[in-house]
Amino acid sequence: MKKQSVFQGAATALITPLTETGVDFPKLKEVIEWQIAEGINALVICGTSGEGSTLTDEEHRETLKYAVEVVNGRVPVIAGTGSNDTAYAISLTKYACEVGCDAMLVVTPYYNKATQNGLVEMFTAIADASTKPVILYNVPSRTGVNIEPQTYARLAEHPMITGIKEANSNIAKIVETMALVGDKLDLYSGNDDQIVPLLACGGKGVISVLSNVLPKKTVELCEKYFAGDVKGAMAMQCEMFDLIKALFCEVNPIPVKAAMAALGFCENYVRLPLTKMEPEHEAVLLQCMREQDLPV
């Protein structure tokens, strides 16, 4: 039986507005309300773009709970609950389920890494503890470990593992994965410069950094593709390419935090080891935003 999809289209890997004293919850509410008004299909809270790795445990939990309350069922809330500490990932996953998050986004273990068997056992343990769907997040450039197609095929048998956020950039591996898993796992692009290519591989959408600043256009790109206008979707992909490139010219979420600050949604503040965007890079980013008619 086919598993139920968490969402189709564009989900924003949302920033977490921060100040020197902690999470700026009024600004987080403002960002969430704008995203929903712009038509976003889902929101990822406390992921990479949300600086989940440097939030305290209390901040992480409070932010998930607050986001669920603000969203109030209008779009799915996907909680970033991954860790290289499996016990902590399980604890956070259980909490996210309890407070009403609609799905989990669980990254591969970083630094300590894992064998493919280790990945299967870790993801299985987390999924066993979850009462909500689990989306696996594969981003080898950050974690140093890749989920292989045959491993996806094993994990696809778990009833709670329903999707993949794929950011390995290897189209051949992604095609191999989809050939093995069929409709058992939903595929989401984890790279904004590859949305249309991954949709062409059978993807359901994108978990996007770009949609922090251009939610409506990112949703429209996906809608065009699903309506059969592949050429129109690809034209949008190309038209936004310079902005996408600028959003990743330094490690995420440094540029997107600068972009959202320029739009008035947060302070331009990131926690160490991240630092503010280099001025010459920020100038390019702001110019790319102006070319997209953004008010900066």
Q: Could you tell me the two tokens for 241? A: 């390419």
Cβ within 8 Å of residue 69, ≥6 positions away: none
Q: How far apart are CA 237 and CA 61, in angstroms?
A: 35
- Token match 């990254």: residue? 107
Question: What count of Cα atoms within 13 Å lies in the side-chain half-sphere of residue 100?
Answer: 13
Residue 76 near residue 6 (C-beta atoms within 8 A): yes
List, by residue number, the catalytic residues. 137, 165
Q: What are the DSSP calls for the chain, one per residue? A: -PPPPS-SEEEEE----EETTEE-HHHHHHHHHHHHHTT-SEEEESSTTTTGGGS-HHHHHHHHHHHHHHHTTSS-EEEE---SSHHHHHHHHHHHHHTT-SEEEEEPPPSS---HHHHHHHHHHHHHH-SS-EEEEE-HHHHS----HHHHHHHTTSTTEEEEEE-S--HHHHHHHHHHHTTSSEEEES-GGGHHHHHHTT--EEEESGGGT-HHHHHHHHHHHHTT-HHHHHHHHHHTHHHHHHHTSSSTTHHHHHHHHHTTSS-S---TT--PPPHHHHHHHHHHHHHTT---
